[in-house]
Structure 1
C-alpha cells in the first residue's frame, strides 16, 4: 500500500436488522427483512396509505443515557450509537485531536425535532419551545455530537446530498486523509424520518410500496412486481485511517477504500437521467481513482431502491461501465432487507460492501420471485454468494434526489 491509501479499521451500525454491525451483517446474510407494520394510528388518523416501515430494531435508550436522548434528535442518537461502536471496533485509536476528523451526513436532518417544535409552538406557544431545538434539528447535529464525543478537531462536516449523503460522507473522509488533513476520520450517515409527514410526502410522490399486507416482502428490487421502496431508519459509521497510521499501531484492516467517483445528472429534481450518464461517470471515476479495471470488480452493492425506473437504469449503467466483465459480477440489493435509510443508506451499504470483500461473501437480495427480464447483471438471490480468492474489488453505488451520484471502490488490499 502507498501513503495515499485509506483503509477501514472500524465498523458500527444500528439498523432495522440489528442494534450493532455484527448483528446487522448476520441478519443480512440470513436474508431477514427489517420491514414491519408500525405500531401507531397514523394511517387512520391522517389517511396515510402506508402502514409499515423498516423501523429501528433496537431502541436507542438501551445504549444512550436519558440526558443524551433528551438533547439529541433520533438521527443524532443513531449516529452516536454507531460511532461509539465503530470507534471501539477500531480499538479506540490514540490520535491527536488535530489529526482526527468526523464526517457524518443526513439527507433530511432532525425532522422529528423540527415538526415537534412546530406542533409545540402552535399548540402551546413560544415559551414552551425547547431551547435546544435548533441544535437538535440542524443537519450537522449528528456530526457535531460525534466530534464532541471523540475530540475530533481536524474538521467536522455534514454533506447533504439526499440518499447519497452517507456515501458522499465516506468519500469526503477519504479525501481528508489523502489531502493530509487527518490521519483518522470517523464517517457515515444517519436518518430518522419514520414520522407521519415524511411518509405522507413520499406516499404522495408514489415512490413507496403499498404492500401493507406483506411488509417483509414489499421491498423487491428487480422483481417485475416491484412497486416502490420501503422507508427505513438507522445509521452506519466507519473508521477510516491512512494505511501508514493503521500499520503503525497494528490495527486490524477490513478493506481498502480505493476509489471515489462523484457526478451529478443535472437532469431532474427526483428522477435519474434515463441514459444513466451520471451513474456511468461516477463508477468510471471510482475505478480510475482506484487504479483498477472492470475485470477486478466481482461484487456490487446496488442503490436499487425497488422502483420501476431506477433499478434498471442502474443495471444498464453497470453494464455500460463493465461491458462483458459484468457477467462475473455478483450484484446485491440489500435494501430488499433493510429498507431505504435515505441519508444513511450509502453508509450502511458501504459497510456491507466492506464486509463482503473482507469475508468474500456477497449478501443476498430477497423477495425477487420474478426477476425483471431487462435485468442485465447477475443477481445474488436468497442465499449469500461466495466471492473468489485473490485480489478482488467491489463497488457501492448511491444515488440521491437532485441527481447526486456517488460510487465507492473497495478492495481487499
Structure 2
C-alpha cells in the first residue's frame, strides 16, 4: 500500500505537452500507466512477488499515514502477515510550481532557501516542496519473531478524520486534527499523558501551524505545553504523500536514539503558536511513544502512533 497525492504528474506534464503540440508519435506508450497513482505500489509488488492487497490511498498530504493505517488494519484483521506500506511523490515540476504559486502555499524566501521552511515561526510564509519515497515493512509480531528480523518499533494506533470545511484551508478551530488524534489514541488504547513526543504536520503555512497548535491543545490540555513538538518538514521540506511515512520512520529513529530532532529556522516566536517546538537544536529525551500527524488538502487528516518494541 503506497500512498500518493499526485501520482505520475511528471509523465502527465511531459506527454500532454507533446500531445498538445500534435507530436503524437512521441507520446510514451507507458504514459497512462506511469500516470496512475497505484503504479508505485504495483511496481513494488511485482519486484517482491507480493500477492496480497495492493492499492494506493490518494489523500493529499495524509496519504502516507493512511497507507500505514490501512496496512495496520489489514494485519490486525488477519488478511495478511506483512505488508509493505508508505508513500511516494515526485512533484518538483514547472506546472506544480505554478499551481503552488497561484495558491500562495509555498514560501517565497528564495534568497535563503535553507531558511525558507519555518514551521511555527511568526515569519513563516509557506512550505518548501520536497520529494522522494519512504516504505516501511509492517509485520505481525509472531511472524516477525519467527523470521528473527530486527524490530524498530510498533505501530500502536491509527486515526483519521475529515475537516469538512474547505478544500485547502484547515478548520480554524482545529476540530479535524483534534478528532484524528483522539481516534488514534482510542485505537491504541492510550491516554494523552502516554505520549512522549509529537511529530507535527508542521508545514509552515500560517493557517496549518495555527490550526495544528489548537488541535494539540484541545487533545492534551495543559500538558500540551510540556510535550516536545517538532516539524521534520523544517529540515527536509514537504514531500506530500510521502511525508507521513517519512515522519513515521523519523519517530521510530527518535525512539531508537532517544533524541528529538529540532524545528529549525525558529527565530521569532508566534504568540498564537506557543508550544515547545524544540527550537533549532536536537534534544536528548526519554521517548517511548510518539504521535505523528499528517493533514492534507480536502480536509484529510491522519494520525499514527508508534511505540518502542518491548520483548
Q: TM-score, normalised by structure 2?
A: 0.97
Deviations 1:351-386 (A, max 9, x none): 111111222211111001112122232111222112
Deviations 1:33-62 (A, max 9, x none): xxxxxxxxxxxxxxxxxxxxxxxxxxxxxx
Give the match's secondary structure for 1:286.
helix
1:270 pairs, out of 168, 173, 176, with 168
1:292 pairs, out of 187, 190, 193, with 190
- Equivalent positions of 1:101-140 (< 5 A) are 103-140=1-38
1:411 corresponds to 2:307: yes
**Matched residues in 2 for 1:188 and 1:318: separation?**
24
**Matched residues in 1 for 2:207 and 2:17: separation?**
37
2:82 pairs, out of 168, 174, 184, with 184
Deviations 1:325-352 (A, max 9, x none): 2233111111011111011111111111
Q: What corresponds to 1:251 in structure 2? A: 149
**Matched residues in 2 for 1:198 and 1:313: separation?**
25
**Matched residues in 2 for 1:292 and 1:105: separation?**
26
1:363 pairs, out of 252, 261, 284, with 261
- Equivalent positions of 1:302-321 (< 5 A) are 302-321=200-219
Q: What corresponds to 1:194 in structure 2? A: 92
The root-mean-square deviation of aligned C-alpha atoms, in Å, is 1.1
**Matched residues in 1 for 2:43 and 2:76: separation?**
24
Q: What corresponds to 1:96 in structure 2? A: none
Instruction: After TM superposition, give the deviation of residue 124 of structure 1 in Å.
Output: 4.8
**Matched residues in 2 for 1:251 and 1:293: separation?**
30
**Matched residues in 1 for 2:149 and 2:27: separation?**
46
Instruction: After TM superposition, give the deviation of residue 315 of structure 1 in Å.
Output: 1.1
Query: Structure 1 runs of 4+ off > 4 angstroms?
Result: none
Q: What corresponds to 1:282 in structure 2? A: 180
**Matched residues in 1 for 2:150 and 2:28: separation?**
43
1:346 pairs, out of 231, 244, 266, with 244
Q: What corresponds to 1:235 in structure 2? A: 133
Q: What corresponds to 1:83 in structure 2? A: none
**Matched residues in 1 for 2:92 and 2:206: separation?**
23
Give the match's secondary structure for 1:162.
coil
Instruction: After TM superposition, give the deviation of residue 324 of structure 1 in Å.
Output: 2.0
Tell me how many residue pairs correspond in the alignment. Answer: 309
Q: Structure 1: where are the runs of 5+ without partners?
A: 1-102
Q: TM-score, normalised by structure 1?
A: 0.73
Kept in 2, the 8 Å contact 1:163–1:344? The answer is yes
